[in-house]
Structure 1
Amino acid sequence: MSWWPSSVMRWRDSSLSTLEDIITCFDKFTVSFEFYNQTTYDAAQPTPSELTAWTDTIAALLNVDGNCTSVAVPSILQDIYSVSLYEETAPDSTRSFCILSETNFDAASGFYVRGWGLFAVQASPAQPARSLHFAAPHPVFDMKTPMQASALFKRTGAKSLLVAGRIRTASKEPTLCVQTDSEGGPYYKTDPAHDKNEPFFGAAKTIHAWQEDHGGCQAASCAFVQMHGKAASTCAGDTAFMSTGLGRSESSLAWYTSPADAPIKRLQSEALQVFTTWNISLPSDSSCGLTATTNVFGRLLNGIAEEDVCVRDADATTVSGEFIHIEQSIMARSSEFYDAWAEAFNRAFIQR
């Protein structure tokens, strides 16, 4: 069934007055726990032609300059996705965003039919602007992270926002990509952090390729940031635990403690100055096991060939430092800290 929920149609209603409100609305349609069997999962996955059209549209949006309608959704996607303009009006300014979102919803469940995800860019160059790319791979499961990612995307003048369209357990079929390891698991085929066949991974690759074609990801101004959430009992001593996809080998820990500049080191330093009572750690500071060594996009950013991202960890000889993976307590994801998180990012990354 193709329809727009009335709450999404009325983007200018007072109840949907911010970008975060829009993302909250879309979050309700995330494909939920064990929704797919093998047949419905196969039907929801993009065909090769659809995946190409999906990533081509994302690439086109990354080049938009003031006019969302200049991006034509390919005919093969026109019954699945649309590009819309959302304008957020404040007393002293108006900010506009182009949003690529699914238009098909299952009438019985209310979930997305295909569940590939949502993508957004600034409709016009933000002032200030930063070469940051925010993502929320685990909507619903990691509560509040899509809204937090959208708030930081807006407040930092970031280049892009990517939100997965499926909960990581939408299928309970184990992935054939990353196998269970000491970090967690089992991992499922609808977990975009651990399965490269998820549309989220294709979108993330496209964003990275665009950045590489536009000056590369310079350490002073650029990073690919994934916002995650951890359970209260997991790494309980850490309010936020940041990693760049390296494990706990001697050389990996030495990378974190070396004096060489890296985005994650600057961000931790600035965040500790903003959140003076929080414990914000790196793997060199904490025994927390959530080091993101199995994150497939993190592996790709850290120099692992795409054909090997399911099976090979990055190490200190390949790491790029472009990847920032943040595991957070539920408190750290709260809207009351959006401005403070944005301050830390804005201090850590120069404007472009």
Structure 2
Amino acid sequence: MISRPRMLLSVAGMAVALALVLTMVLVLGDEESPKPGSPAPEAGLDSLVTKFTSALSADQEYRSPKSDERRTAAAGFAALLDRRSTADLAELGFSVRDGVDPATGRPYTIVVNEPGTERAWGMYVVDRSAPPSLVVEVPHPAFDLRTELFGVDLFRRVPGAVLLVAGAHRKADDSKADVAHEEDSVFHVVATTLAGRGLAQVQLHGFHDQNLPSTDVVLSSGATVAGDAARRAADRLTADGLAVCRAWEERCKGLEGMTNVQGKMAAAGGTVFLHVEMSRTVRESPERRANVVRALVEADLTEP
């Protein structure tokens, strides 16, 4: 027969054990579940851009900004770059916030147009880890498929880069949303503001494989004269096994970007502009995407 004192000790021991188990469950639960009111984890920049571009379509609302709105946009983005007031951007319907990209740990400021309205004027991201360096442009998201992913990858590889993503499908509003060929756009205003500070631009496009079956990438300087930066990029792409059509040496079946308005603006201001057309096969391959981005980084486009 078990004595009463021993029974009391046994019951007490079980109570202590149960208390320890309950404590461990509560502690582990605290570690695995966010506390009420805690901020959500920061989304990766690629997720933010993909979500933004997935909402674009040829029949979406869009209107070109008026002249006074373009002036306001120019003033607003200049202020943003200099870390001054963003009131002008708010007036145009843009939201502005700071974040940190989990993939790089680098801080950025992101500017996004008013959703679901005709003021579909773009997404703009400024890497705050270094002074502004390279302008990475995606003028035809949701049309030149996957170019936004190239844009994010290149942006992440260049400290101080500024990413420009058009806010509408290029066919919207009877193609008036084609910012690569329309000067009356906020996209062009932002590109002009950045080029006015001497920054080089690289603009990303895509073409169907059948247009140039033996070519992976078409490189050109648009209306500008091809300089050392363009030649370095071509050489590095070739070294990575990509077939490159150099528009300054040969004809590339209308993919030279000669009518591109950002290229014309760069030519007038004497700044670097690189027009990059990639085949569908290249854009669909993560390995080739990595090769293209690496080649562009190694070409050091910030140097003329």
Query: 2:298 & 2:245 partners in 1: Cα distance?
Result: 18
Contact 2:154 2:297 in 1 (8 A): no
User: How far, CA to CA, are the matches of 2:195 and 2:88 in structure 1?
Assistant: 25
Question: Is 1:281 aligned to residue 268 of structure 2?
Answer: no
The answer to whether the aligner puts 1:26 opposite 2:45 as a matched pair is: no
In structure 2, the residue matched to 1:302 is 267
| Cα separation, 2, equivalents of 1:171 and 1:73 | 28
Q: Which runs of 5+ in 1 are unaligned?
A: 1-9, 65-70, 107-111, 173-187, 212-216, 218-222, 247-251, 305-319
Corresponding residue number in structure 1 for 2:85: 72
CA contact (8 A) 2:122 2:164 kept: yes
Aligned partner letter, 2:158: T
**Letter aligned with residue 120 of structure 2:** G
1:159-198 counterparts in 2 under 5 A?
A: 159-172=161-174, 188-198=175-185
1:210-221 superposed matches below 5 A: 210-211=197-198
Structure 2 distance, partners of 1:351, 1:205, is 16
| Alpha-carbon distance, 1:117 to partner | 0.7
Q: How many residues align?
A: 263
8 Å contact kept, 2:124–2:165: yes
Q: State the 1:302 CA deviation.
A: 1.3
Q: After superposition, where does 1:239-250 map in structure 2 within 5 Å?
A: 239-246=216-223
Q: How does 1:1-352 map to 2 (within 5 A)?
A: 12=41, 16=43, 18-30=44-56, 32-36=57-61, 41=62, 44-64=63-83, 71-74=84-87, 77-78=90-91, 80-90=93-103, 94-102=105-113, 104-106=114-116, 112-125=117-130, 131-172=133-174, 188-211=175-198, 223-246=200-223, 261-273=227-239, 275-276=240-241, 278-283=242-247, 284-303=249-268, 320=270, 322-334=272-284, 335-349=286-300
Q: What TM-score, normalized by structure 1, do the two folds share? A: 0.67
Unaligned runs of 5+ in 2: 1-38
C-alpha displacement at 1:47, in angstroms?
3.6
Equivalent AA in structure 1 for residue 228 of structure 2: A
Q: How far 1:195 moved relative to its partner?
A: 1.4
Change in Cα spacing, 1:336 to 1:62, as seen in structure 2 (3 Å) is: farther
Which structure's CA Rg is the greater one? 2
**Maintained 8 Å contact 1:73/1:81:** no
Runs (4+) off by over 6 Å: none
Determine the C-alpha separation between the residues in 2 that align with 1:267 and 1:76: 35
- Whichever structure has more helix as a proportion of its residues is 2
Q: TM-score if structure 2 supplies the norm length?
A: 0.77
CA–CA separation in structure 1 for the residues paired with 2:89 and 2:126: 22
Counterpart Cα distance in 2 of 1:296 and 1:125: 28
Q: CA deviation at 1:48?
A: 3.4
Contact 2:110 2:126 in 1 (8 A): yes
The residue that corresponds to 2:5 in the other structure is none
Distance 1:345 1:46 in 2: 32
Distance 2:302 2:275 in 1: 21
Tell me the SS of whatever aligns to 1:341: helix
Deviations 1:197-239 (Å, cap 9, x if unpaired)? 122111211111123xxxxx5xxxxx31100011122122210
Is the partner of 1:326 in helix, strand or coil?
strand
User: What RMSD, in angstroms, separates the aligned Cα atoms of the two structures?
Assistant: 2.7
2:290 and 2:99 map into 1 onto residues whose CA distance is 21
In 1, distance between residues paired with 2:189 and 2:161? 17
Distance 2:204 2:190 in 1: 16
Conserved? CA contact 2:143–2:170, under 8 Å? yes
1:220 aligned residue:
none
SS of residue matched to 2:71: helix
SS state at 2:193 partner: helix
Cα distance in 2 for residues equivalent to 1:293 and 1:75: 33
For each residue in 1:245-297, what CA deviation from the matched residue of structure 2 results, as whole angstroms up to 9, or x when unmatched?
15xxxxx9xx76xxxx5211111111211x22x20121224543211111111
Q: CA separation in 2, counterparts of 1:236 and 1:80? A: 43
Kindly tell me: are residues 79 and 137 of structure 1, through their superposed partners in 2, closer, same or farther at Cα, counting changes over 3 Å?
closer
Distance 1:35 1:341, change over 3 A: same
Identity over aligned pairs, percent: 26
Instruction: Tell me the distance in 2 between the aligned counterparts of 1:194 and 1:78.
Output: 26
Q: Secondary structure at the match of 1:325?
A: strand
